[in-house]
Amino acid sequence: MPDLSEYRQLARDMSVDAVALVPGPNFTRALGKAFMSHERPFVVVVPAEGQAAAIVPNLELASWGLVGFEGAVFDWRDQTGYDDAFTALAAHIPIRSLAVEGQVMRVFVSAAFTLALPDLRIVDGEREISGLRSIKTDEDIAALQAAIDISERALVRVIADVRVGQTEKQVEQALIQALFAEGAESLAFSPIVAAGDNSARPHGKARNDYQIRTGDALLFDFGARKDGFAADITRTFFVQDVSDEGREVYDTVLRANKIGFEACRPGVTAHDIDDAVTSVLEASPFADRIRTKTGHGLGRDVHEAPYIMRGNHQKILPGMVWTNEPGLYALDSFGVRIEDDVLVTADGCRSLTHFPKELTIIGR
């Protein structure tokens, strides 16, 4: 039986009757297996007192058997629907309040709870539930490091082959193939490969109809997934040549990135780090090009706590991993972002990413 005691304790701490988990990073962590959900409600309910129970789509029962779950299981079939399973669970575990993962649970699942229990108080426990993942174990860090190493090896391969005249889409496809060739189990997210003006879009999509030109900035933001953990790395290169402005912007972003490392040690807050990093950008001639916060936590999810931004006074603690990704974006011109994955240690931090950050010209 998976150990669900942390979630049980969390229900007590949050003064709710139970915590609900749906397929996603917390579910995988708690149950030890990843599941798909699609159109089918699939929920584990961990009460403050007593045994957990689960609502499981019937066709998943064969895989569910591998979990070793010992609580009551209410399965349901597509043909008859899931309402009865929620009603049976509600009768089995009397709950009046339920903490859910607000960023994972979808509205049709919360509606199914409400239909079965019209007076149920549903609380968004995203911060608390996902917060249990903030401090990484040694095993977590090893998986993260593996995902990062795969990603960096893929990037080495890909930049060696970049040539003027290729489309962004061609380079993106080469990156994806390199990631799998290097051992990725899947992609942490749909990678960003953005040249020229597209690099000024923080979430630019690779274009089929844009050919890379001399002087372009070329931004890669990508990551492999390995053993359930996601890498998230950004490097920005220049193709064949770099303008004085490009160089100056790059140097500014790199200084901000370095300040991020210097500002990071146990006891400071997420606010402090973002403030230190963003202050470098604000003091530069490019302050009007700031579009994003410094970064976010990284682990089973690509974006998770702690969010590294002003106003977030969450304490930074040993074992947290966060992305240090300052950037400057000039619309219709170019953007630069440099992103490292940073592990907080007992007395400071260390980078899990090792790819060089000096301004690099590629595509010769």
Residues that bind a copy of itself (CB under 8 A): 33-36, 38-39, 58-60, 62-63, 65, 78-81, 100-108, 110-111, 122, 124, 126, 173, 176-177, 180-181, 185-187, 189-190, 200-205, 274, 291-293, 296, 302-304, 307, 309-311, 329, 331
- Whether residue 263 contacts residue 222, with contact meaning beta carbons closer than 8 Å, is answered with no
- To a copy of itself, the closest distance from the beta carbon of 136 in angstroms equals 19
Q: Which residues contact residue 80 at a Cβ distance below 8 angstroms, ignoring those fewer than 6 apart?
A: none
| Cα–chain center distance at 253 | 22
Task: Give the residue with the Cβ less far from a copy of itself, 228 or 363.
Answer: 228
- To a copy of itself, the closest distance from the beta carbon of 18 in angstroms equals 15
Task: Give the residue with the Cβ less far from a copy of itself, 90 or 309.
Answer: 309
- To a copy of itself, the closest distance from the beta carbon of 102 in angstroms equals 3
- Whether residue 55 contacts residue 41, with contact meaning beta carbons closer than 8 Å, is answered with yes
- Whether residue 351 contacts residue 328, with contact meaning beta carbons closer than 8 Å, is answered with no
- To a copy of itself, the closest distance from the beta carbon of 345 in angstroms equals 26
- To a copy of itself, the closest distance from the beta carbon of 247 in angstroms equals 22
Pull the structure tokens for residue 342: 């940073």
Task: Give the residue with the Cβ less far from a copy of itself, 306 or 318.
Answer: 306
Task: Give the residue with the Cβ less far from a copy of itself, 211 or 292.
Answer: 292
Rounded distance, CA 299 to CA 304, Å? Answer: 7
Going 303 to 308 to 313 to 317, the CA torsion angle's sign is: positive
- To a copy of itself, the closest distance from the beta carbon of 126 in angstroms equals 6
- To a copy of itself, the closest distance from the beta carbon of 204 in angstroms equals 6
Tell me the HSE value of 92 on the side-chain side, using a 13 A CA sphere: 19
Task: Give the residue with the Cβ less far from a copy of itself, 212 or 298.
Answer: 298
Rounded distance, CA 67 to CA 46, Å? Answer: 15
Rounded distance, CA 240 to CA 181, Å? Answer: 27
Q: Which residues contact residue 177 at a Cβ distance below 8 angstroms, ignoring those fewer than 6 apart?
A: none
- Whether residue 299 contacts residue 133, with contact meaning beta carbons closer than 8 Å, is answered with yes
- CA angle 6-349-307, nearest 5°? 55
Mark residue 227 as left, alpha or beta (left: phi above 0; alpha: psi -120 to 50; beta: remaining). left
Task: Give the residue with the Cβ less far from a copy of itself, 163 or 207.
Answer: 207
If we measure between CA atoms, which residue out of 212, 202, 200, 199 comes closest to residue 169? 212
Task: Give the residue with the Cβ less far from a copy of itself, 61 or 317.
Answer: 61
Task: Give the residue with the Cβ less far from a copy of itself, 103 or 345.
Answer: 103
- To a copy of itself, the closest distance from the beta carbon of 184 in angstroms equals 8
